[in-house]
Structure formats: structure tokens, C-alpha cells
Structure 1
Amino acid sequence: MASIFGHGLVAYTVAKVVDFKSCKLLVFLAIGSSILPDLDVLGFSFGIDYLHPLGHRGFTHSILFALLWSALLAFFLGKSRKLIFAVVLFLSTVSHGLLDAMTSGGKGVGFFIPFENSRYFFPFREIKVSPIGVEKFFSEWGIRVILSEIKYIAIPCLIILVTLFFTRKRKS
């Protein structure tokens, strides 16, 4: 998996691209939604196998989960902006699986669970897989993860955000 920092930065960028003046609630929900799929690691504590549909990178990383989660949040919290909320939250949630499919480790992402249980990676797998657990993250391995995320996530997001800022500033 990419780290929570990488996932959160992509969600923040998505919120700003779709709705540059996004409210704090939407940004907060987008970042939270981009991290949420990794709650499936709790399944290890209950004996759920990695490759089980409810295992790590399973259903909570699927497109269906992203759709259901974003629709639920948009319905209850979107107020008059339900469509914007739904789009931002869907893209933020689904981005989690997309980033994980670009990592150097794991057993793939179940994008189509529950309809099809195969796991997938993208041909581009340059993002170093983040260790599970805080102690392991603050190690040499964690430093390699952060450096790969700076290169493949943070710099592209920064370019998008800066370009967006100046483009929108020039238009107004």
C-alpha cells in the first residue's frame, strides 16, 4: 500500500481539482475516504486471509465499495452539493486502490470484488509498498517509501495544484 500521506495528498488534490474552493468538510471527508480502505488490515486480527474477498486489498479497495461509500456520504452530508461530494469522495476512495496497484508489494487489488475476486497490479509499480505498522514505518524501509511517494505522488500533485492555482487565478 502507499502510505496514508500519499493517499491523503491524492485526495486533497482531487478535492481541489473538482472543486477548488472545497469546504473543509469535503476535504476532510476526501482524505478520510482515501485512507479508509486500509481498515481491512484489521481482518488479519480475525484470521481473515489476505486473498479472501474481505482480506487486505479486497472489497474495501473495490470500485463498488468506493461507489457505495461516496454515495452514502454524499447523501447524508452533501447538502445542496451532493453531486460534487459524490464525485470527490468516489475519486478519493477509488484512488486508494489505484495507488496500491502501483506499489512494489502485496498480492494485488480486488477492484471488481464482489463480482470477480481476481487481484490486479498496474504495469507501473514504482511506488514502494508501505510497511504495516507505525514502528516499521519509521525505519529505513519507511524512508524509501516516503522518497518514492515524493517522486511519484507529491511532485505530480504539487504540479497539478500549482497549475490549477495559477490557471484559476488568471481567469478571475
Structure 2
Amino acid sequence: MASAFAHAALGATLGKLLLPHPRHWPYWVAAALCAALPDVDSVGYRLGVPYASLWGHRGLTHSLLAAAVVAAVGTLLGQVAHPARRPAAARLALLLFLATASHGLLDALTTGGLGVAFFSPWHPERYFFPFRPIKVSPLSIRAFLGAKGLRVLASEAVWVGLPCLMLLLLGQRWRQHQRLGSANK
């Protein structure tokens, strides 16, 4: 898996891109949390749930179905927010779906594990992408706090952090361009 840091960074980036107004910062945080959420299944690993099972790591919680459920629940919860801060429901649903689904996409780019069950529970086959540049993160915190963890973070800085920064800069330039275009009309 990619580390929680990489998942959260991508989720927050998606939040800033899809809901750019500063009043929506709580949704950026929500997107970061949704992006890391699928790894809740790693608790099962400690409880003896077989890795390759439906409930194992990178199984059902990493599926597109799980992303849709998280987006639906999150969107419903988002409707209780103050109306002036609340984004459009469709935009929020898209953000939460993309943030949660991004977890499996990053994991499919890693160098280890059994792959990601994107289409679980109907199709339990697990997939990796042909290009897998991200170093796989250890499941335990202790193993992460050493040289291996530093290699993972360095890999994620290049393959997740830099693209996120580039997307944020492009998004900012796009919004500036849009403002200038509407000011010149």
C-alpha cells in the first residue's frame, strides 16, 4: 500500500481542485480522510482475516463500490452543513468518490501486495497497473519508522507529492485565467 500520507495528500489535492473556495476547507480534510479510509481493512490482517479474502487487505474496502457508498454517506452528512458553506451535492459526491477511489489507484501503482479488488464483491480478481513506481509501505508502524519507511516516503514524494503540487499549481493558474477572462468581458 501507499502510506496514509500519500493517500491523504492526494485526497486533499482533489478537494482543493474540486472545491477551491477557502470556505470549503473542511471538505478538503474530509477528502483526505476518505482517501486514507480504505486501509481500515488492515485491522483485519491483525485479527487473522486472510489477505486474499473479500474482507482482506485491498479487498472490498478498496473497491469502486465502497467508494460509491462512502461518497453517498459523506454527501448525506454534508447536507447538514451550514448552507453558506455547503457545496453542491453532486460536486461533493464526486469529490468523495474520487478521493476514496484514489486509494485503490495509488495501491495499484505500488511494488507489493496482491493487487486491488476494484470490482469486488462481484469480481474478486485483484489488479495492478503495468507501471508500479511507488514503493510499497509496510503495514506496521514499527516497520515504517526505519530505512524502509524513508524509502517509501521518498518514492511517494516523487510519484504522489510532486504531481499533487503540479496539479494544485495548474488549478491555481486555471482559476486566475478564468478570473481574468471574465474580468475582460
TM-score normalized with structure 1 length: 0.95
Matched, 1:159 2:166: yes
Q: Distance in 1 between matches of 2:119 and 2:157?
A: 29
Specify every segment of 5 or more residues in structure 2 that has no aligned partner in the other structure, as ranges.
81-85, 180-185
Question: 1:97 aligns to what?
Answer: 104
Counterpart of 1:159 in structure 2: which amino acid?
M
Per-residue deviation, 1:25: 2.0
Aligned residues: 172
CA distance in 2, matches of 1:62, 1:167: 32
Give aligned-pair identity as a percent: 40
Alignment correspondent of 1:10: 10
Shift of residue 101 of structure 1?
Answer: 0.3
| Cα deviations by residue, 1:38-95 (Å, 9 ceiling, x for unpaired) | 0101112322100000100000000000001111110121355211111000000000
CA distance in 2, matches of 1:152, 1:52: 29
Matches within 5 A, 1:139-150: 139-150=146-157
Partner of 1:113: 120
Q: Which residue is 1:134 aligned to?
A: 141
Which residue matches 2:67? 66
Give the Cα separation in 1 of the matches to 2:95 and 2:79.
11
Structure 1 residue 33 displacement after superposition: 0.4
Aligned equivalents of 2:21 and 2:7: distance in 1?
Answer: 20
**Matches of 1:109 and 1:149, distance apart in 2:** 18
User: 8 Å contact 2:13–2:28 — kept in the other structure?
Assistant: no
2:30 aligned with 1:24, yes or no? no
Q: Paired residue for 1:39?
A: 40
RMSD over aligned Cα, in angstroms?
Answer: 1.2
TM-score computed with the length of structure 2 as normaliser: 0.89
Distance 2:46 2:170 in 1: 44
Match of 1:55 in 2: 56
Q: 5+ unaligned residues in a row in structure 1: which ranges? A: none
Deviates further, 162-171 or 147-156: 162-171
Q: Point out the more displaced range, 44-53 or 16-25.
A: 16-25
Runs of 4 or more consecutive aligned structure 1 residues displaced over 6 Å after TM superposition: none
CA distance in 2, matches of 1:110, 1:52: 10
